Amino acid sequence: MATNPLAPAWLRLPADANVLADGLWPATAARTPQGELLIGGCTAAALAAEFGTPLYLIDETDARARAASLRAAFETEFARIGTSVHIYYAGKAFLSTEIARWMLAEGLNIDICSGGELAVALAAGSPPNRIGYHGNNKSLAEIDEACRVGVGTIVIDSPVEIGRVAAAAARHGIVQAVRLRVNSGVHAHTHEFLATAHEDQKFGVTLDDAPALVGRIRAEPSLAFRGLHCHIGSQIFGADGFAESASRLLAVHAALLDGGPVPELNLGGGFGIAYTSADTPTPIGELAASLADIVAAECGTRGIPVPVVAFEPGRYIIGPAGITLYEVGTTKAVDVAGNPRLYVSVDGGMSDNARPALYGADYTVRLAGRVSAAEPVLVRLAGKHCESGDIVVDADYLPADVSPGDLVAVAATGAYCWSLSNNYNFLGRPAVVAVAEGTPRMLVRGETIADLLARDTGVGAGSTTAGSTTADSTADLPKEPSR
Ligand SMILES: Cc1ncc(COP(=O)(O)O)c(C=O)c1O
């Protein structure tokens, strides 16, 4: 069969549309002899039967191994250049108490950017001093709470925050360690980066303004300046963008040493992963080695000591460890100028994975309940929302006999899917289940119709129509699976 001209240029026609390509699926993903998808030793069908679909699954072994191996790689490479690293797990990618515990147990700290994320990290039992808090508009109450509980570091994002954090720290009688977020002017995404001199974005202060602002921070007795912080983007392949950014940051870092100690440098997160077979992220060990070489060279050129270096990866750790299971509800073949495309609609969509609609993100889909020898056909995996842009996988190949009732799995949905999930069209957010060694464990239960109605103050009040629809009356609705 020839490649379908409707397929994007990067998508190859697979010889076998059942294959779980290396690097795309969680480490424990495999097929049983009968062809079912197996993850963490559990079959997709058993998980769907127990928890319903859509369902987020996290391969615990893989998530923890990715955290541990990333930390080991960075520790080794930065020890080679005579310094140490702090690795923060970027909770925005996917945060629950259990996942925070895994990360802490693997020796990572937790990076948060809101009072809600702080509450989750604390509920997980995180020592406050292992929490780093950034964000461009932390409220006064959030800053106060962060200082009250004693978070390790706060990233100051704008001039006005210097006084706010200083006042909160003084109120609580502490000296708060802070970083200053700067804009290096480098924006990186996948293979390319853009370096500009001027900034037009909401995060951080310019490198030009940094020395005066650090002077202000140092003048506050309740603040202790730790170093500069920068994040140049996400889903980055290769080290070139980091090299340019680190070079710009270390020039300012070196100048700041004239005014006092600058023990740290935080280079942010953004390490890329594979969402499709066309993605070729840099292996983490190579990236760690390149970043260490860059920092060593830049410090060497300037004759300054190598600082402790901090990183904040999220997607790299949790993204590939997660998949989403869906059930196919309908299929529809269309003909586009003589070329076939099969729409396969599933029971979730942009409410559980907003990334395709938000960023045009690509994903990979495979049959999860069986394999099939039918020839591969070009499919578009659509959601069930009332929105034509509600697409989960814009283009991939599935066996031509994919049918209603089939289970399908979408790879690499561990990062920024559950955390961006929403209730569009009043769909409840799916459950999150961790799987390991043949045992599933619910991390977050799914939302029910009763959950969705519970906050509507009009339910049960006033008119006869409204009165007939109480939260309790949802017991009469068809039972949702335990999602
Ligand atoms: C400041 C900061 N740090 C870390 C991250 C994590 O990025 P990633 O999940 O791509 O590693 C982000 C994500 O946008 C961020 O804004």
Sort strands 264-266 and 223-229 into parallel, antiparallel or unpaired.
parallel
Examine residue 183 and state whether it is found in any structural domain, yes or no: yes
| Residue 283 is assigned to a ligand binding site | no
- In this predicted model, which residue has the larger pLDDT, 482 or 59? 59
Mean pLDDT of the chain: 94
Examine residue 7 and state whether it is found in any structural domain, yes or no: no
Terminal CA-CA length for the chain: 40
Q: Is the CB of 93 under 6 A from ligand 1?
A: yes
Examine residue 308 and state whether it is found in any structural domain, yes or no: yes
| pLDDT recorded at residue 470 | 38
Question: DSSP code of 175?
Answer: -
- Closest residue by CA, ligand 1 atom 12: 269
Please tell me the total count of domains within the chain: 1
Distance, in Å, from the CA atom of 41 to the CA atom of 170, rounded to the nearest integer, reads 52
| pLDDT recorded at residue 103 | 98
Q: Is the CB of 269 under 6 A from ligand 1?
A: yes
Distance, in Å, from the CA atom of 75 to the CA atom of 288, rounded to the nearest integer, reads 9
Residues classed as catalytic? 386
Examine residue 177 and state whether it is found in any structural domain, yes or no: yes
Examine residue 145 and state whether it is found in any structural domain, yes or no: yes
| Sign, Cα dihedral of 140, 141, 146, 149 | positive
| pLDDT recorded at residue 463 | 56
Domain that holds residue 186: 61-318
Q: How far is the CA of 368 from the centre of ligand 1 (A)?
A: 31
Q: Which tokens go with 121? A: 């990290």
User: Does 481 have pLDDT greater than 70?
Assistant: no
Examine residue 131 and state whether it is found in any structural domain, yes or no: yes
User: Does 229 have pLDDT greater than 80?
Assistant: yes
| Residue 98 is assigned to a ligand binding site | no
| Residue 89 is assigned to a ligand binding site | no
Arithmetic mean of pLDDT, 185-207:
83
Category of 207 on φ-ψ map: left (φ > 0), alpha (ψ -120 to 50) or beta: alpha
State if pTM tops 0.75.
Answer: yes
User: Does 428 have pLDDT greater than 50?
Assistant: yes
pLDDT > 70: what percent of the chain?
95
Q: Is the CB of 134 under 6 A from ligand 1?
A: yes
- Select from 137, 187, 234, 311 the residue to mutate for testing ligand 1; criterion: most ligand atoms less than 8 Å from CB: 234
* Cis peptide upstream of residue 54 (ω within 30 degrees of 0): yes
C-alpha torsion angle, residues 106, 108, 113, 118 (rounded to 10)? 60
User: Does 464 have pLDDT greater than 80?
Assistant: no
- Select from 183, 231, 242 the residue to mutate for testing ligand 1; criterion: most ligand atoms less than 8 Å from CB: 231
Examine residue 13 and state whether it is found in any structural domain, yes or no: no
Distance, in Å, from the CA atom of 398 to the CA atom of 365, rounded to the nearest integer, reads 8
pLDDT digits (tens, 9 = 90+) for 368-424: 999 999 999 999 999 999 999 999 999 999 999 999 999 999 999 999 999 999 999
Sort strands 153-156 and 131-133 into parallel, antiparallel or unpaired.
parallel
- What CATH number corresponds to the domain at position 148? 3.20.20.10
Examine residue 463 and state whether it is found in any structural domain, yes or no: no
